[in-house]
Chain A
Amino acid sequence: MRLIAENLGGERGGEPVFSGVDFALAQGQALIVTGRNGSGKSTLLRVVAGLLPAAQGRLLIEGGGEDFPTVAAACHYLGHLNAMKTALSVTENLRFWRDFSGPGLSSVDEALDTVGLGGIGHLPFGYLSTGQRRRAAIAKLLVSQRPLWLLDEPTSGLDKASEARFSALMTRYCEGGGMILAATHLPLGIAGAKELAMRVGH
């Protein structure tokens, strides 16, 4: 399976944010999108996910088969917001997303253990700290199986230990044949990741 972007361009409110972005991502590869604030990292991810229309160029997923015909169907999108309900418990949140997005390799409890939140699944999501919320959102990536992760500043709010754990998790995911497209200004520590530098007016 491959994710290919050709001469991709995106805009916000009619203003071009970036243009002429080319990349190809094969299974087991990670691509880190870097660049200054306002260089279009988040916009690129939203265009790739299909939440924003591409202003130019094209984007396709090759070899997705019946299960993953489009990028939207093949991806996990982890944006700035955690997409969790504060009134529901962490477990209820994760269980809903597992039911909604299809089953994955880990059960809800295993996923919580993996991100170091084992034993607090019964707490309402609203009681968690910023870093814990982010980790719970990362656990969302594990409870349903997708070949592509689109991560927008995934480590914001995480402490050093959690960052290291998340790096190991992403490396393992790539080794297992996953693809990662991550926008960040901090090093993510994925072994063998390529880099795509966005410039303002790219």
Chain B
Amino acid sequence: MAGRPEGGALAKASQIMVALFLRDIRLNIRAGGGALTGIIFFLAVIATIPFGVGPDLKLLARIGPAILWIGALLSCLLGLDRLFQADREDGSLDLLVLGNDRHMLALTVLVKCLAHWAGSVLPLVIAAPLLGLFMNMEPLAIGATALTLLVGTPAITFIGAAGAAVAVALPRGGLLISVLVLPLTIPVLIFGVSASYGATADPDPFLQPFLILAALTLFLAVVGPVAAALALRHGTD
């Protein structure tokens, strides 16, 4: 029998989690759609703004970071409903929950969140600089916004996981998740946008809001999966 795990429990756990991560990434790529739908929605939101605001280039450049952030936030929320629902529909979720005694369910959820982020949200972050050009943003502002998105969007996924776990049993949970999660993402949005502005507007600080944003992500990386695991544990029927 090849590949029998040996050594510490930590090595074993990390091997299991890598297997879960690769499976979810593979599903994200093959089952198709997730990443692309998000990007197209992001593009649609950003491309509409100049038509609504009008051809005032200065105004567009000024609201650019905020619009990019709001667009990315909404696109993130779009794919969240499938985070656990797909596993529930084919019965995998039961087995993931039963694995709780071997490896904490919260860890399983964390890995699923990371895979979801890498598969569906990271493409948005990569697309953001391109969309920044639509908003007539300066290179520095574009770079700062992309950086804050890179650091801040995992937080949205972690909060979203808790929402997705609560709504997993509902047949049309997508909208409910967005409504549940949106208020909780406001702090992330505030600090993300203010750090983006801090990079270009001179008296405003960049580092402080950026560090708070990073702290929010780290904090939610713990709280979100634990809350989601609790909801999943008690949501099986």
Contact = CB atoms under 8 A, between A and B. Distances in A.
A51 interface: yes
Interface of A is mostly: loop
A103 B98 contact: no
Contact of B101 (A52, A69, A77): A69
B94 interface: yes
Interface in A60-114: 69-70, 72-73, 75, 77, 79-88, 92, 95-97, 99-103, 107
B15 interface: yes
A75 B94 CA distance: 12
A36 interface: no
A172 interface: no
A51 B1 contact: no
A: contact size bracket = 20 to 34
A58 interface: no
Contacts of A99: 15-16, 19
B85 to A, nearest CB: 13
B2 interface: yes
Contact of B16 (A46, A85, A100): A100
Contacts of A170: none
A148 to B, nearest CB: 12
A92 B26 contact: yes
A106 B20 CA distance: 21
Contact of A83 (B1, B91, B236, B237): B91
A68 to B, nearest CB: 9
A44 B40 CA distance: 46
B237 A84 contact: no
Contacts of A101: 95, 99, 102
A70 B20 CA distance: 23
Contacts of B98: 49-51, 72, 75, 77
A170 to B, nearest CB: 20
A12 interface: yes
A45 B125 CA distance: 45
Interface string A1-29: 00000000000110000000000000000
Nearest to A69: B101
Interface of B: 1-5, 15-16, 19-20, 23, 26-27, 30-31, 89-92, 94-102, 236-237
23 contacts: A49-B94, A51-B97, A69-B101, A72-B100, A79-B91, A79-B94, A80-B91, A83-B91, A84-B92, A85-B92, A87-B30, A88-B30, A92-B26, A95-B19, A96-B19, A99-B16, A100-B19, A100-B96, A102-B5, A102-B102, A103-B4, A103-B5, A107-B1
